[in-house]
């Protein structure tokens, strides 16, 4: 029975082709100060270097492929084509980075691990490899929250940053809030991970079969993202979800606060000490990181900042949901271009090759 299930899964998964990384993408490993290995993928600048290297970080239940889904949907390759050395990061427990392994003393994974250990290790690695004194950073969803936490606690090495759909307050009285608060806790492992990668891969071939289904309502809009792109993201852009991280997010949703996983740090309050230039980007129809949730982080930020609401009313070619910001058909023009413009506006003289 188990073998048959595996066979069916393999058959279905094969329906959605995994697009390999391009030959020029160099997979590297960085080791954190607590002994985890992280996957980093380097995309060298095409043509003259125009600015600092850029580190890209994905959100929860995701991996580095969110930033390089395929040739036509790749923030990493787009930055590289615009003269930036781009790096994608898979946080611990995702991509080919280390997994929880109790025998090796690894795990469980908390939100604090991401900003206390993973981000510093990734930044050190990129700076060492590139020779740049500082880098720029783009985080999607939780990838932006990780940056907020890191910089709010005095993290170094980031010259300018952009967050895409990154909330700092999660209590908005939606039906989803109430459903998750009641139904999710018993389902979440206390130390392990939810098998969301497996579930997504199995569900991938069926995506788009029914218009306006739950996934579409929650994650993307067909006017922005092709079903084929969404299927690919489901097939190889997802990762297992750490139970403690998911529990932490539920606590944030019930408390209305942005706290560290150990509850000791009020990260939102500490964002009031940050000085790094920041562009905060929100999709007007993001049903996960609602615009007020994203704006909350913008308001909390003390450093130089700008707000970009991606919407037709602001001239975008389509309305944007949560994942459209990174895999949308028009994301390069509507989202990534203003991000790069912001990073350029906060650039200093180039000091690396």
The window from 103-111, 128-136, 226-234, 304-312 that contacts other proteins (CB under 8 A) reads: 304-312
| Calpha distance 261→252 (Å, rounded) | 9
174 binds other proteins (CB under 8 A): yes
End-to-end CA distance of the chain: give it in Å, rounded. 57
Cα–chain-centroid distance for residue 295? 17
DSSP H helical segments within 131-275, as ranges?
Answer: 142-152, 175-183, 196-203, 214-219, 227-236, 243-255, 267-270
Min CB(309)–other proteins separation in Å: 6
Of the residues 319, 324, 329, 334, which one makes contact with other proteins according to CB under 8 A: 319
Of the residues 47, 48, 186, 315, which one makes contact with other proteins according to CB under 8 A: 315
Min CB(82)–other proteins separation in Å: 25
Min CB(227)–other proteins separation in Å: 18
Q: Pick the closer one to other proteins by CB: 4 or 175.
A: 175
Whether omega for the bond prior to residue 108 falls within 30 degrees of 0, making it cis, is: yes
User: What residues contact 153, with CB distance under 8 A and at least 6 apart?
Assistant: 115, 265, 267, 270
Of the residues 19, 172, 203, 257, which one makes contact with other proteins according to CB under 8 A: 172
Q: Pick the closer one to other proteins by CB: 161 or 290.
A: 290
Whether the Cβ atoms of residue 88 and residue 94 lie closer than 8 Å to each other? no
Of the residues 113, 118, 136, 296, which one makes contact with other proteins according to CB under 8 A: 296
Q: Pick the closer one to other proteins by CB: 79 or 318.
A: 318
285 binds other proteins (CB under 8 A): yes
Min CB(241)–other proteins separation in Å: 19
- Tell me the CA distances in angstroms from 233 to 10, 19, 227, 253, 324, one per residue in order: 17, 10, 10, 26, 11
Of the residues 226, 299, 330, 344, which one makes contact with other proteins according to CB under 8 A: 299
Can you tell me whether residue 8 is helix, strand or coil?
Answer: helix
Q: Which of residues 24-83 bind other proteins (CB under 8 A)?
A: none
Q: Pick the closer one to other proteins by CB: 19 or 218.
A: 218
Whether the Cβ atoms of residue 68 and residue 237 lie closer than 8 Å to each other? no
Whether the Cβ atoms of residue 221 and residue 286 lie closer than 8 Å to each other? no
# binding residues, other proteins (CB under 8 A): 26
291 binds other proteins (CB under 8 A): yes
Q: Which of residues 88-107 bind other proteins (CB under 8 A)?
A: none
Of the residues 37, 44, 171, 223, which one makes contact with other proteins according to CB under 8 A: 171
Looking only at Cα atoms, what is the longest distance across the chain? 62
Q: Which of residues 176-215 bind other proteins (CB under 8 A)?
A: 176
| Calpha distance 78→98 (Å, rounded) | 28
Of the residues 314, 337, 348, 351, which one makes contact with other proteins according to CB under 8 A: 314
Q: Can you spell out the DSSP letters for 288-325?
A: SS-HHHHHHHHHH--SSEEEEEESGGGT-SS---TTHH
Residues at the contact surface with other proteins, assessed by CB under 8 A: 171-176, 217-218, 282, 284-285, 287, 290-292, 294-296, 299, 309, 311-315, 319
């Amino acid at each position: 029975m188990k073998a048959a299930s595996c066979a069916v899964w393999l058959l279905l998964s094969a329906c959605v082709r995994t697009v390999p990384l391009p030959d020029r993408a160099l997979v590297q490993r960085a080791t954190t100060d607590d002994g985890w290995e992280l996957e980093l993928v380097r995309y060298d600048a095409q043509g003259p270097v125009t600015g600092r290297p850029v580190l890209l970080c994905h959100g929860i239940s995701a991996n580095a492929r969110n930033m390089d889904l395929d040739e036509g949907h790749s923030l990493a390759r787009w930055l590289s084509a615009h003269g930036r050395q781009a790096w994608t990061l898979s946080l611990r427990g995702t991509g080919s980075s280390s997994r929880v392994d109790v025998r090796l003393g690894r795990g469980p994974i908390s939100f604090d691990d991401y900003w206390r250990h993973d981000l510093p290790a990734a930044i050190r690695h990129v700076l060492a490899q590139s020779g740049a004194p500082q880098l720029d950073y783009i985080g999607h969803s939780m990838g932006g929250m990780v940056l907020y936490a890191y910089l709010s606690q005095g993290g170094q090495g980031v010259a300018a940053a952009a967050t895409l759909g990154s909330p700092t307050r999660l209590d908005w009285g939606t039906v989803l809030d109430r459903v998750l608060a009641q139904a999710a806790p018993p389902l979440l492992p206390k130390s392990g991970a939810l098998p969301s990668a497996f579930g997504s891969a199995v569900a991938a071939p069926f995506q788009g079969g029914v218009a306006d289904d739950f996934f579409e309502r929650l994650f993307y809009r067909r006017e922005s993202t092709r079903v084929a792109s969404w299927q690919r993201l489901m097939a190889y852009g997802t990762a297992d979800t750490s139970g403690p991280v998911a529990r932490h997010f539920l606590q944030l949703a019930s408390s209305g606060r942005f706290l560290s996983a150990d509850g000791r740090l009020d990260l939102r309050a500490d964002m009031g000490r940050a000085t790094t230039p920041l562009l905060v980007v929100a999709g007007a129809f993001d049903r996960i990181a609602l615009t007020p949730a994203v704006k909350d982080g913008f308001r909390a930020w003390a450093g130089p900042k700008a707000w970009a609401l991606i919407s037709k009313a602001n001239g975008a070619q389509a309305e944007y949901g949560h994942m459209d910001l990174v895999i949308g058909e028009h994301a390069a023009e509507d989202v990534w271009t203003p991000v790069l413009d912001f990073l350029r506006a906060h650039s200093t003289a180039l000091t690396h090759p």
